[in-house]
Amino acid sequence: MTNNIEGKVVVITGASSGLGEATARFLSAQGATVVLGARRADRIQSLAGELTGKGGKAIAVATDVTDYGQVKRLVDAAVQACGRIDVMINNAGLMPSSPLERLKIDDWNQMIDVNIKGVLYGIAAALPPMQQQKSGHIINVSSVAGHKVGPGSAVYAATKHAVLALSEGLRQEVKPYNIRTTVISPGAVATELPDSVTDPATAERIRKFYAEVAIPAASFARAVAFAITQPEEVDVNEILFRPTRQEL
């Protein structure tokens, strides 16, 4: 392992677009085996085919992270195919933000199910094999919204604050197993995330904001690679980055 990425088995949820897809491409190009999970099976299958065609190793497993059984199946597929799991990236998430007074309860439930429970299920699926191996790396995706709350983003911010709390608790608990933990909090990055906003006024505001400041998804992939490529005794626990022009 020359770059500490080559040969690693990396499971990525939400690999069908945006940050997850960019990370899969970046890590695959550096010799990782990537195991891709998302609901849109056609997208992850075609990405796996593309990466394999370039000489990489990639597996696609249709996964809804709100179902623990499906997340376990994703991790099990990695362990069965490769004999181990080195990195679990709990990236799947959505952001249907709106002011609380709109009472978009379905959106609230979806954010809680995907952004919080999905991360927990990823931890639950990856922990047992990593504990057995006495090695591993769990990377959770929070947000600037995990550090700041603005009007219209209360529920999304709450889910991302939860990811920070879970990551810190996890960090402290997995020391005996030699498992590293990283939580990455991006600012505005150009992905399909704004498409998940269902409230028209909020969608318009967020689209305009992203059009003005968002940076490419490769910025996130490089942050992931930075954490993974550290020597095994170095545990990068938190990364917060924004577009240089982003104020909040």
Ligand X SMILES: NC(=O)c1ccc[n+]([C@@H]2O[C@H](COP(=O)([O-])OP(=O)(O)OC[C@H]3O[C@@H](n4cnc5c(N)ncnc54)[C@H](OP(=O)(O)O)[C@@H]3O)[C@@H](O)[C@H]2O)c1
Nearer to ligand X, 59 or 94 (CB): 94
The terminus-to-terminus CA distance of the chain in angstroms comes to 39
Tell me the three state secondary structure of residue 215. strand
Q: Does 141 bind ligand X (CB under 6 A)?
A: yes
Q: Does 191 bind ligand X (CB under 6 A)?
A: yes
Report in angstroms how near the CB of residue 217 gets to ligand X at its nearest. 7
Report in angstroms how near the CB of residue 213 gets to ligand X at its nearest. 10
Q: Does 17 bind ligand X (CB under 6 A)?
A: yes
Q: Does 193 bind ligand X (CB under 6 A)?
A: yes
Report in angstroms how near the CB of residue 90 gets to ligand X at its nearest. 8
Q: Does 189 bind ligand X (CB under 6 A)?
A: yes
Contact in structure between 121 and 71 (CB atoms under 8 Å): yes
Number of H helices, E strands in the chain: 8, 7
Name which of residues 75 to 104 contact ligand X (CB under 6 A).
91-95
Report residue 75 as tokens.
Answer: 């991790």
CA dihedral 65, 68, 71, 75 (to 10 degrees): 160
Contact in structure between 240 and 144 (CB atoms under 8 Å): yes
Clarify whether 156 is annotated catalytic: yes
Report residue 55 as tokens.
Answer: 């000489």
Contact in structure between 10 and 56 (CB atoms under 8 Å): no
Q: Which of 6, 42, 106, 192 binds ligand X (CB under 6 A)?
A: 192
Report in angstroms how near the CB of residue 107 gets to ligand X at its nearest. 12
Which residues of this protein are in contact with ligand X, per CB under 6 A? Answer: 13-20, 38-40, 63-66, 91-95, 114, 141, 143, 186, 188-189, 191-193, 196
**Catalytic machinery residues:** 156
